[in-house]
Amino acid sequence: MAKAARKGGNGGIAKSDPYAGAAARKGKGGKSANNIFKMNTDIGQHILKNPGVAQAIVDKADLKQSDIVLEVGPGTGNLTTRILEKAKRVIAVEQDPRMAAEITKRFQGTPAAKRLELILGDVIKLPELPYFDVCISNTPYQISSPLTFKLLATSPSPRSCVLMFQREFAMRLFAKPGEKLYSRLSVNAQMWAKVDHVMKVGRNNFNPPPQVESNVVRISPKNPRPQISYDEWDGLLRIVFVRKNRVLRSGFLGTSTVMEMLESNYRTFCAQHDIPLEDGPSEAAMTEDMDVEVEAQDDEWDGIMDVDEDEDLPDFFKEERDKKAEKAQGNPNRKRKGKVAELVRSKVKKVLEVETQLADKRARLCDEGDFLRLLYAFNQEGIHFS
């Protein structure tokens, strides 16, 4: 009878199997070997580790051999490898220098290295995106909203964008009027693109696992694009969705920062078109303005952040609000409105109450057609949002 293999000092591994011994030693240190560095979850670093999910995402992008693909947040390159197998070129934007070094090392010396361009930086802060046909992204959750808006505004439009999002955010893309998640994001996404659900992705498919479940969606920009100004359209939506539970009359006429912005824009419009304006103090606007603001106080409002946690109050409103608060501390008396402000106010009332008859409707119940009617009517009156 053959003698049993002698056990060495490697946890019971026989000396006759040196490869098994090496595997055991690697297994003991496997945790440190696989974790090259600690993931920074503060900037959304959750690496997709399931190769089946990664392959499915790339397959759903329906890539062509001539495509240039923009990948946001490539991480260690698990998606990048599969994209390079099908596309002509990949432009990867990575914020973390450690990740950028890792993906560079991964492809160094391979034929694919020449087809990979790495941009180190924050994709949101890039002045403009390079040309690309398709965008694929395991999106850091913190930039989901600004990235979506940046992609929707890109010109020329990409053919499609296959993006991984936090499940609740993805559901906002599909939300309809009256639903809890209906927001500025919903209207914008559905105005400029066709949105399809691709798949659900559980948290255990990532390393480290995030606290939430994920969904993959495909955003296909409409071609041709709707013939309206993106800045004008989005400017209108920013105003009406600051407080989506208020009626539109209160959202416009009962919000002084909105009226001040529209007055400023109207003055610019008149100056550009050589339209004379009669300026000076007005006696009629004071009482009317106070009445509308009292009405606004009775309207339902769940707070600005009820709209979207990542879609806060526009900077213009913040600055004007802070300036007004400082002035109010030293001067409790309200400033009397001028003739131009009164004129703008009358135009806004005309649009809301006569032209569109949407004054008493809430933003969360308005659909795309309602917002288009509003934008057209405001523009006809010389009122602009950009």
Residue ranges at the known binding site for S-adenosyl-L-methionine:
46, 48, 73, 94, 122, 138
Residues in binding site: 46, 48, 73, 94, 122, 138
Q: Are 144 and 121 in contact (CB under 8 A)?
A: no
Annotate 193-208 with b (16+ C-beta within 10 A) or e (fewer): bebeebeebeeebbbe
CA distance 158 to 155: 8
Residue 67 amino acid letter:
D
In the three-class reduction of DSSP (H, G, I as helix; E, B as strand; rest coil), residue 39 is classed as coil
CA distance 166 to 146: 14
CA distance 164 to 144: 9
In the three-class reduction of DSSP (H, G, I as helix; E, B as strand; rest coil), residue 76 is classed as coil
CA distance 210 to 199: 17
Least Cα distance to 169 among 219, 125, 206 occurs for 219
Name, in order, each residue with C-beta under 8 angstroms of 318's C-beta and a sequence gap of 6 or more: none
Q: Are 134 and 160 in contact (CB under 8 A)?
A: yes
CA distance 361 to 352: 10
CA distance 298 to 263: 25
CA distance 283 to 289: 11
CA distance 40 to 133: 30
CB neighbours (10 Å) of residue 131?
11
